[in-house]
Structure 1
Amino acid sequence: MTNRLRVITVAVVLAVAIAVAAAYAMGGHRPAAHRAATGTPSATARPGTPAGKGGVCQSGLPGQAKDTLALIAKGGPYPYRSDGIVFDNREGRLPRQAGGYYHEYTVVTPGSGDRGARRIVTGGPGEEYWTQDHYASFQRIDTGC
């Protein structure tokens, strides 16, 4: 390979890496079409079980989310090594808190070859949030419905 070709190849690889990192930082996560193709259900309040503004009834979550909530309640063991790590809330989509306040947990996505996009993020006691789109949006989990 000539030096010029090598320089061009490196430049292209760097440009692609920068574009991917920028898309991720701007919230360019898995599109809705991918979630539909992998069977990720929608987490919306069921008729007759309102969860309040922007919330979701715990009973309306997929079974895997309920499994994750049960693991959180008993302190594990968790299926992924990164479960329980600090969630930094860099995008500011959750209420602002001191660093280390929030922690994230994987919600298994059937058919996904990796951790998937679904998470539960916890804060203080009884404060739990659901995201099915890898932190692009959150709903507070209402355990009373």
Structure 2
Amino acid sequence: MSRRHRLPLAAVLLAGLLAACDFSGGGQQARQTTTTSTTTRLTRDPVSGLPFVAVRDLPPEGQRTLRLIRAGGPFPYRKDGSVFGNREGVLPGRPSGSYREYTVPTPGEGDRGARRIICVTERPQAPPAAECYYSADHYTTFRRIQP
């Protein structure tokens, strides 16, 4: 193959490669990124940045605890309704005393276990649309319970 034929072949290959690329910003990859980031935003609380969890996706004990919170009790544990200090700083900043903690019983545990629901409220009873969070691992991670 002579040198004269290499350049046109290289140009044809390059032109084909460039034609396969979409530099307009509206290609498939750009659409996937936009869709993914939109979905991500919808699955996270915009205030805390924490992922959402639907009430139906909480363990059954968590669903019962949430119903008790909204009804104002009675609570099975002495510490339920006590102030949660947010010392870990994972939840959004609030005035002292704004967060209350409630135990989510863990089957097979002899004590309170590690699961908790934390609600923003200045009184032990949280209104139905209160800002509440679920932790399955004793405050290491949280998910915002969808109102």
Note the C-alpha offset of 1:59.
0.8
RMSD across aligned positions (CA)? 1.5
TM-score computed with the length of structure 2 as normaliser: 0.61
Equivalent residue for 2:87, pick from 67, 87, 90: 90
Identity of aligned residues (%): 53
For 2:70 and 2:54, locate their aligned partners in 1 and report how far apart those are by CA, in whole Å: 17
By relative contact order (CA 8 Å, sep 6+), the higher-ranking structure is 1
Aligned ranges for residues 58-69 of structure 1 at < 5 Å? 58-69=55-66
Q: For this pair of structures, how many residues does the alignment match?
A: 94
SS in 1 for 2:63: helix
For the pair 1:128 / 2:125, whether they are aligned, the reply is: no
Partner of residue 71, structure 2: 74
| Structure 2 residue runs without a partner (length 5+) | 1-41, 45-50, 122-126
Mark the structure with the bigger radius of gyration. Answer: 2
Runs of 4+ that moved beyond 6 A: none
TM-score, length-scaled by structure 1: 0.62
From 106, 113, 118, the counterpart of 1:116: 113
Match of 2:99 in 1: 102
State the one-letter code of the partner of 2:43.
Answer: G
Unmatched 5+ stretches in structure 1:
1-50
Q: Shift in Å at residue 130 of structure 1?
A: 0.2
Aligned to 2:43: 52
